[in-house]
Amino acid sequence: MNADAHPRLAWAITGSGHFLKESLELARRFPDVDLFLSSAGEEILSMYDYKLADLKKEFKVYRDNTASSAPVGLFYHGHYHGVVIAPATSNTVAKCALGISDTLPTNIFAQAGKRRLPAIVFACDTAPEVETESPSEWVTTYPRAIDLQYSKQLATFERVTIAESVEMLNLALQAHYSNLSHIQAHP
């Protein structure tokens, strides 16, 4: 099949409450974004009062309800020009760094690599101390050495940008969209 004439951006949401609101706000500001939820991401959206039905009015939404991550087939047809995981849990970051793909977000990340597409990962556990918003209050968490290690490891991957703040994510997205003419959608 031929490459899609108008490729889109595949944006994964994982089960992180940290920077969920800010990530969704950014997803709304960029064009042609489709959402890919992990099962935990879908649960967290509901815990933070986001309704799937409302998101479906704004985005095409792919849920993690097949063992094979069936929507990755879209990547074989040049449907996407890049992948974003924002927010990315430490679980998803670790799996991506280890080459594990057993959820929709980790599968689209793997597909981006295999199709030589750029990926941006908003890894929330990149500092030794993080102020995070639970559904009811603000709490301080202390990412473990292993969480920080996998974020660093992922930053060494080819065509992968790690964003450590909302500002960095915004800048990485702007750079991605301004480079789009140089990114080839592989048929």
Ligand X SMILES: Cc1cc2nc3c(=O)[nH]c(=O)nc-3n(C[C@H](O)[C@H](O)[C@H](O)COP(=O)(O)O)c2cc1C
Binding site for ligand X (CB under 6 A): 14-18, 38, 40-41, 44, 47, 89-92, 103, 124, 132, 134-135
CB of 145 to ligand X, least distance (A): 15
Those residues with Cβ within 8 angstroms of residue 77's Cβ, 6 or more apart along the chain or in another chain: 1, 2, 3, 4, 187
Token pair listed for 30: 């960029």
CB of 106 to ligand X, least distance (A): 7
* Alpha carbon 104 to chain centroid, angstroms: 10
CB of 143 to ligand X, least distance (A): 8
Token pair listed for 109: 């990340």
Residue nearest to ligand X (CB): 15
CB of 138 to ligand X, least distance (A): 12
| CB nearer ligand X, residue 81 or residue 95 | 95
| CB nearer ligand X, residue 40 or residue 117 | 40
Q: Do residues 111 and 78 make contact, with C-beta atoms less than 8 angstroms apart?
A: no
Token pair listed for 155: 């930053």
| CB nearer ligand X, residue 7 or residue 17 | 17
Reduced to 3 states (helix: H, G, I; strand: E, B; else coil), residue 108 is helix
| CB nearer ligand X, residue 74 or residue 123 | 123
Sign of CA dihedral 124, 127, 128, 131: negative
Q: Do residues 18 and 132 make contact, with C-beta atoms less than 8 angstroms apart?
A: yes
CB of 3 to ligand X, least distance (A): 29
Q: How many CA atoms lie within 13 A of 111 on its CB side?
A: 30
| CB nearer ligand X, residue 59 or residue 122 | 122
